[in-house]
Amino acid sequence: MQRIRPWLGIVLSLLLIALCITPQAQSLLSLPQYQRLVVGESSSISLPLPEKIKDKIQMQVISPSRSVFAAPQEPPVTISSNSSGYEILALKPGKVNVKLKLLGYIPLKSMAVETLPTKRVVAGGHSIGVILQSKGIMVVGYAPVSDSEGKKAYPARDQGVEIGDIIYQVDGQPLHSESELARIIDEKKSVLLGIKRGSKKLSITVSSTYCPETNRCRIGLYVRDGVVGVGTLTFWEPDSKIFAALGHVIIDADTKQQIDVLQGKIVSASIQGIKPGKPGQPGEKIGVFNGEGEIEGKIIKNSYSGIFGKTGDEITNPLALYTMEVAYAHQVNEGQAQILTVVNGDDIEAFDVVVEKVFPERQDGKSMIVRVVDQRLLNLTGGIIQGMSGSPIIQNGKIIGAITHVFLNDPTRGYGIFMDNMLSEIPASLSPWSKVSTNFRDA
């Protein structure tokens, strides 16, 4: 008997390996470990197994089961299979663990199922002007200071100030604007600069040099305290009055660093002209700001998924008179879609596009590849151009995301961001959906 046991173990191991490499076992093992459903949505899990084996497999929904399964009994709840497989129905937001078991007790597969609330927003497409002031002053270059003898000096650079640094204090006092920095430097021979360099905070003392050309003291820096530009509104939520736009972070054009928001706002903008895009030459919308237009809002956050804030008044869209349902990443498909954007004045128009590829796992602003197929838009703009960032993408009557980037060598194509990623950036204190009960308890 003792001689048989080692061989028995080897035989059982080989049998297990053989079973695992069969197509039927592979189909079972390849089932996703995590699945998302929207409330009201159902999912059917089909197992291509022989009926004799399938009859011996049970699916159990572990506590709290009523998030996904209508059953009066206490969990665990056993789901019976039908002709299409095991069907799971999302009833309310929550998270459950679903297990497949052989003969009711041998575990075969475990899956986490998350059910998500239905969300609705007013679709954007409006052209907006963006005015953003940074926290502190960003160093974007070195400016030589010529003294009375014509010699060039770089006082700040020589003391260790670098391009991309944020000057947030002068002599211990908060700094708010370029003009304020220039005035303080001109009044003093030496200043103590409080600097943020990435995650570090530094203190650097810089002595100013008198410049006869400008008749004031300088430290030899080019600085910027904000940005101004044209973009597109993605959505507006009527209960909270939260807006989202652009679909990507605002960075400084010279340093390529994210701008930390001190204050900012969006206003209505009117498109006065178009510079078409060409391979290697991105196009752009040419617009003017309209402070008396429909849109005016305060920017609260500048993130990698766009800019977010609140408006005071209602925003409407003549192409979408009612709120539109939001599609989650798992609901986005390759195929026909439309974008909403402005190419003339302030009229929002819909243009045909194709979602060529979807990348469900990406958390950046490059979640899908979008190609413009609308001939009128191609004639006007050449495809995707600057100022179009944030244009909402509509598919099957739902808003699935927004345009974010253009392919430099092919302006007919670009990237889009999922609505999931944009909604996740809304501060919880402002989100209209943060009070929804989620029951996110792992079983």
Encoded amino acid at 153, one letter: A
CA dist 291 to 93, 268, 272, 382, Å? 41, 6, 16, 30
Kindly tell me the number of DSSP H helices and DSSP E strands found in the chain. 7, 30
The answer to whether 357 and 334 have CB atoms below 8 angstroms apart is: yes
85: region left, alpha or beta (phi > 0 left; psi from -120 to 50 alpha): left
DSSP-assigned beta bridge partners for residue 102: 57, 106
| Helix (H), strand (E) at residue 61 | strand 57-62
- 389 catalytic? Reply is yes
DSSP letter string, 279-315: TTB--EEEEEEETTSS-EEEEEEEETTEEEEEESS--
Backbone angles phi, psi at 395, to 5 degrees: -140, 130
* Residue of 65, 305, 389, 431 marked catalytic: 389
Kindly state the greatest CA–CA separation across the chain. Answer: 104
* Residue of 65, 126, 208, 248 marked catalytic: 248
Rounded CA-CA distance 367/418 in Å is 6
Tokens (6 digits) for 299: 């920017």
Name every residue whose Cβ is closer than 8 Å to that of residue 4 and which is 6 or more positions away in sequence. Answer: none
Rounded CA-CA distance 203/75 in Å is 61
Rounded CA-CA distance 287/285 in Å is 6
Specify the 3-state DSSP secondary structure of 433: coil
DSSP letter string, 394-413: EETTEEEEEEEEEETTEEEE
- 248 catalytic? Reply is yes
| Helix (H), strand (E) at residue 381 | helix 375-381
- 147 catalytic? Reply is no
- The residue behind tokens 């799971």 is 88
DSSP-assigned beta bridge partners for residue 266: 130, 297
- The residue behind tokens 């009128």 is 376
Rounded CA-CA distance 126/392 in Å is 10
- The residue behind tokens 């009557």 is 397
- Pick the closest to residue 45 from 322, 304, 54 (CA basis): 54
Active site residues: 248, 374, 389
